[in-house]
Amino acid sequence: MSRTSQPVRIGVIGVTGRGGLSRHWHKPGDKSVVVAGADINEEYLREFKQKIGESVFVTTDYRRLLERDDIDAIAVTSPDYCHEEHAAAALEAGKHVFCEKPLAITVEGCDRILKAWKKSGKHLMVGFNMRYMNIFRTMKEIVDSGTIGEIKTVWVRHFVGHGGEWYFHDWHANRKNTTSLLLQKASHDIDMIHWISGHYAKRVAAFGGLDFYGGDKPNNLECPECPERDNCPEFQIWPGHQYCVFRKEVDVEDNTVVIMELENGIKATYTQCHFTPDYWRNYTFIGTEGRLENLDDSSKVIVLTRDRVRKYKNLANRSYDVKPAEGGHGGADPLICQDFVDMLISGREPLATPVAGRMSVAVGCAATESLRSGGKVVEVAPLP
């Protein structure tokens, strides 16, 4: 696609949550403009119309967007369990697609999208915004420069301090909607392991459990009306939320440990906990010549090289300052939105490829199968 005279016209499916990315695409007079939105909630559509403008087309049926000739691209920012249907349908309708991660909640769903993408001849990009965060770009640059040699092992710890707020008050807490949080939440981290190391995982084993959330409360119990709310620590932290995090239907794990073997013999571990008091990600990459690690405030990357240890007999570190950035998700949201538009204009391959999106889901699904079957080793489904 090469557009030089008019902006890329974008329709958004799912206008709240990650649908908020529309503010970065709606730039009348520039390279892109949001012209339509679809959502099953009419109140959300009214709010969307107020933000974008009265002229924007809105509908409760996403298929109306796919029928319009004045829409070039579709942003799929609907809930995870809708991604397969929405992305595949948009590609089949001849639209370019930005699909928020995870690409789908099953490997089969991802492969259906990839098939539609290849057949369509259109562009498909996955919403891996962590590829655009300065902290992870810095880490990839260091690894790619050869500073720490050939990567041999990776350790990732994800402290999800807002776990209750984000994942257990709503649809995320059900397997039928997410498969597991190793797709919804860990798809970012799995992709970072793949992207920075340059290799995909081949097989995994995992353990996990529902160790804090879930319980015996009614599925329709709403927090503001619960008689125990004044003594509930979760209500005290997140008083504005809807359904009880200790309800019976909650069946996704809140505490998981995954081990992976990647191509080239790389060993990796990933841990995710949703009831920690703090929120941050800790990444460590160890190579034949050293290791690197990020600080918890994402302000620095610390590198220790083996030559310094041999030469000076100490653990003196080299540090790389990471520039702060403005915008959602550490400045990544405006960058990934701009990259999507630039991709459509230039025709180049996206930084976050469809195959990368598929492989992160394949690893998450394999790890979920493992942890729910006693921790057995599971082979990651190869590309078809």
Q: For residue 373, give both structure tokens.
A: 């079957």
Report pLDDT digits (tens) over 314-329.
444 677 888 877 777 7
- The angle that helices 328-346 and 134-145 make with each other, rounded to 10 degrees, is 70
Q: Per-residue confidence at 1, pLDDT binned at 50, 70, 90?
A: very low
**pLDDT tens by residue, 5-35:** 689 999 999 999 998 999 999 999 899 999 9
Cα separations in angstroms, 320 against 275, 295, 296, 311, 328? 31, 11, 14, 21, 23
Q: What percent of the chain has pLDDT over 70?
A: 96
Which range has the top average pLDDT, 93-102, 292-301, 331-340?
A: 93-102
pLDDT at 310 over 80: no
- pLDDT at residue number 316: 44
1: Cα separation from own chain's centroid: 26
Mean pLDDT of 227-240: 82
8-127: which CATH architecture?
3-Layer(aba) Sandwich (3.40)
Confidence check: pLDDT of 107 > 90: yes
Retrieve residue 102's tokens: 């995870």
- Report which DSSP code applies to 254: S
- CA-CA distance, 5 to 26, in Å (whole number)? 17
164 or 263, higher pLDDT: 263
The CATH number of the domain covering residues in 131-214+250-331+360-379: 3.30.360.10
What are residue 207's DSSP bridge partners?
257
Per-residue pLDDT at 348 exceeds 90 = no
Give the chain's mean pLDDT. 92
> For residue 109, what pLDDT is reported?
98
Q: Give pLDDT, residue 156.
A: 97
Report, as an integer, the average pLDDT of 202-228. 93
> Which of 271, 300, 275 minimizes the C-alpha distance to 193?
271
Residue 2 has pLDDT above 50, yes or no: no
Ranges of each domain in the chain: 8-127, 131-214+250-331+360-379
First to last CA, the chain: 27
Return the half-sphere exposure (C-beta side, CA atoms, 13 A cut-off) of residue 322.
Answer: 26
Split at pLDDT 50, 70, 90, the class of 115 is: very high
Grade residue 309 by pLDDT with cuts at 50, 70 and 90: low
Which residue did the predictor score with more confidence, 162 or 359?
359
- What is the Cα–Cα distance from 86 to 99, expressed in whole angstroms? 9
Is the model's pLDDT at 145 over the cut of 60?
Answer: yes
pLDDT at 240 over 80: no
The pLDDT score that the predictor gives to residue 332 is: 86
Same fold, 8-127 and 131-214+250-331+360-379: no
**Other beta carbons less than 10 A from residue 360's beta carbon:** 31
User: How many C-beta neighbours within 10 Å does residue 34 have?
Assistant: 29
